[in-house]
Amino acid sequence: MQFDPKAPPPETPPVRARIPKMLAWAGLFLFIVSGLAVGGQAMPEWFGWAKNLNPVSLTQALLPFTLTPSSGASADTPDWSNRERVNVLVMGVDRRPDETMDSTVRTDVMEVISIDPYTKSASMLGIPRDLWVPIPLGNNQVTYERVNAANVVGVLRKYPGGGAALAKETVQYNFGVRINYYVMLDFDGFRNLIDILGGVDIHVEKTLIDSEYPTDYYGVQRVVIPAGDQHMDGEVALQYARSRHSDSDFGRMKRQQQVLLAVRERLLRLDMLPKLPQLWGQFHDAIRTDMGLGDVLNLAKVAREVNTENIVGKTLEYPYVTSYTSEDGAALLLPVRDKIRELVEEVFFDARKEGEARIEVLNGTGSPGLAAQTASALKNRGFENVVVGDAPGGPYKQTQVMNYSGKGYTAGLVALALKLPRDRVKAEKAPAAPKDTDPVDIRIILGQDLAN
């Protein structure tokens, strides 16, 4: 889509003091989907700009990303039998006692949590609240707003499925990541959960000092968390993950991911899986989701098999975004589409293959050991049958991927793993294999572009 960075956001009436809100947590889902989010700013029902947005026809523009077709039973349902990657959009809401989960609240930070049953790995992608994106409204129309406003727009425009459904669609539309489920969280149970677990252990790299940390009653207080190894109860863990004045929103997202990993480790240590049905009932009032208990249990079983070292946490910070000030002085972040595309392909890599392909990696450069390094990287991606050797002739300037077996999906995944453009994959007739040698399905000739 033609992106208009000069299009200003709609004016927001000063209806409530703009106070940084709480981190929205539900520990059950931290364990299941490795998820967290930051509470947003609540807006009253007469927050009228969302009803009067100036939509743009989709026929005037191009979809930012193309979704990879799902092999599941539907667009949203993951194919468990084929061990398809499962993506969950986790959002946080700062719900006041007189509000419901359907109130108009911004979700200041959204987190896409992905679990790959095939490689037993997980990914986290933090999306900053001020990212200026097109929001699809339906009927072939979009509007531009901060990504954290998608929930508000969905509620007030009565989008099918509500604000959470529109937020889910907005992430799919902008990042090409198919979102199977959403989870909207209330933070009320966070402190109690941490205390029930007996606290969490977190290494604080730098002393956190926040003299404007918000209280529950719209005041502020000074918070100091010393550097070093800290055992945090629920209140301190919430302060550590919620603080916005000690560094930046990017730093806060990283601290949130650090906390969620600490919670996950604690839950694993206590072996909470048998207690999931009980916890589900206990936290159900603080959670809005399109997941059923069966989906939760399926994800929990997979998540339990994911080792911590196989969890990747990323945030959309620089160079994936650039700063921009709108004409009315609003501080925004603009997406750098090419960079985001590369990051999305890396974080949400699909390692499923059409059968077991035999991959041959040949070194066509003057760099010793490059073939072995490449083979190791492919094996880490789930390609198990990989052999190495030296390419005849050379040196080669560009890396080549030859698909000899018709396994185009797997060959495409190989190119993706090596961060090569898809046009590097060529379908060719397989050369005759020596006797007593298994035929090669995919051959990679490494060039100087990977050696540099």
Are 99 and 237 found together in one domain? yes
Are 286 and 369 found together in one domain? no
Are 99 and 71 found together in one domain? yes
Are 284 and 370 found together in one domain? no
Are 85 and 125 found together in one domain? yes
The range of the structural domain enclosing residue 446 comes to 359-451
3 domain-assigned? no
Q: What is the pLDDT of residue 372?
A: 94
Instruction: Could you list the beta-strand ranges (E) of 25-63.
Output: 37-38, 42-43, 56-57
Are 196 and 341 found together in one domain? yes
Which residues are CB-contacts of 245 (< 8 A; sequence separation ≥ 6)?
20, 210, 211, 212, 213
State the total domains in the chain.
2
3 state SS of 55: coil
Which residues are CB-contacts of 118 (< 8 A; sequence separation ≥ 6)?
83, 85, 351, 352, 382
Q: What is the pLDDT of residue 248?
A: 79
| Cross-strand bridge partners of residue 131 | 333
Are 238 and 137 found together in one domain? yes
248 domain-assigned? yes
Are 306 and 391 found together in one domain? no
Final residue in a domain of this structure, among 309, 327, 347: 347
199 domain-assigned? yes
Task: Give this prediction's pTM.
Answer: 0.68
Q: What is the pLDDT of residue 22?
A: 28
184 domain-assigned? yes
90 domain-assigned? yes
pLDDT averages per 10-residue partition of the chain, 452 residues: 37 30 36 38 40 46 39 52 81 65 72 87 90 88 90 91 92 87 75 81 95 82 96 91 82 84 81 64 70 80 83 91 89 90 82 78 92 89 88 90 85 83 83 72 92 74
CA–CA gap between residue 391 and residue 371 (Å, rounded): 10
Q: What is the pLDDT of residue 430?
A: 77
Are 398 and 332 found together in one domain? no
Which residues are CB-contacts of 351 (< 8 A; sequence separation ≥ 6)?
116, 118, 119, 381, 382, 383, 413
Final residue in a domain of this structure, among 289, 319, 347: 347
Are 415 and 319 found together in one domain? no
Q: What is the pLDDT of residue 189?
A: 64
Final residue in a domain of this structure, among 322, 347, 372: 347
Whole-number Cα distances in Å, 302 to 117, 292, 308, 338: 6, 16, 13, 32
Q: What is the pLDDT of residue 194?
A: 80
4 domain-assigned? no
Q: What is the pLDDT of residue 58?
A: 37
* Contact between residue 348 and residue 87 where contact means Cβ atoms under 8 Å apart: yes
CA–CA gap between residue 374 and residue 388 (Å, rounded): 9
10 domain-assigned? no
Are 145 and 222 found together in one domain? yes
* CATH code where residue 178 lies: 3.40.630.190
* CATH code where residue 386 lies: 3.30.70
387 domain-assigned? yes
Are 410 and 382 found together in one domain? yes
Q: What is the pLDDT of residue 434?
A: 65
